[in-house]
Every structure is written in structure tokens, then in C-alpha cells.
Amino acid sequence: MADSVKDSAADVLYYLRTIGKKPLSMQIGIGGGAGVFTGYVFGKSSRLLAGTLGCSLIVLQFCNYRGYIVVSRSEFEKDLRAARRALEKQFGANKSSVPSAKEVDKFLISNKYLLGGFVAGCLLGYAFS
């Protein structure tokens, strides 16, 4: 079972990597379909997410004001440094996480129809919600 899931995931990833070589109408259609889904989900969940985030910030600020939450800045910075070292060890410190301008340009140019369909679909999906 695990092998079939792994094979299916590999097939999907291969398809997504080679989508720039598919016909133009297929690129726009796939981008538009994904955009409609994303826009609809975002439109439905954005009010709930905004309310939850706002209430959480108010509760955290109240707890901080009353002294229920005490944050040690030095301990926090120490934990951040440890997490950064662990991530650098895991993923390699010599790799840059930010792509270069050439890489971004190449990606945008090779996927311009897919991205255009996604943006248009996202706006339609947001309008449907």
C-alpha cells in the first residue's frame, strides 16, 4: 500500500514538474481550476480565520498585561538559535533558502500561462464564495 501511495505521489509530482511542457489550454485549465478551488476556500475561511486570529491576540495581550504570561527574552533567543542550528544541520547551511532573481524569472516565464489561469481562477472562486 505504501509503495502505491509513493508511486502515485511521484507520478503527480512528475506531472506538476512537466506541466510547462503541456499544451497551452491544459496549462490555463489546470491553473484556473486550482485557482477557483483556492479562491473559494480562501473566501469561505478568511472571516473565520480573521476572527480567530483577532480574538487570540486580544486574549494573549490580556494575559500578558495581567502577568499570566512571562517571556524570558534570553531563553527565547537561545531556543531560536538552537532551532536555527538544527535546521541548518538538517537542510544544509550552504544552501540559500531565497531563490535568485534569475531563478524567479525563469520560473515565472516558464509558467506564465499556468499562473495567469490560477490568478483568474482565484478571483472567480473568491467571487463565488
Neighbours of 29 (CB within 10 A): 16
CA 31 to chain centre: 16
Q: What is the mean pLDDT of residues 105-122?
A: 90
**pLDDT confidence of residue 111:** 86
- Give me the mean pLDDT over the 6-21 stretch: 82
Q: What rounded mean pLDDT belongs to the chain?
A: 86
Q: Return the SS3 of 27.
A: helix
Residue 96 clears pLDDT 70, i.e. is over it: no
Listed by start position, the domains of the chain span 1-11+23-128
Cell numbers at 104, concatenated: 524567479
Task: Return the HEC string of 54-102.
Answer: HHHHHHHHHHHHHCCCCCCHHHHHHHHHHHHHHHHHHHCCCCCCCCCHH
pLDDT digits (tens, 9 = 90+) for 42-76: 988 988 889 999 999 999 999 988 988 887 889 98
Highest mean pLDDT among 2-16, 42-56, 95-109 belongs to 42-56
Greatest mean pLDDT among 4-18, 51-65, 96-110 lies in 51-65
Separation of CA 123 from chain center? 18
Res 17: pLDDT: 79
Query: How confident is the model over 81-95, as pLDDT tens digits?
Result: 999 888 888 877 666
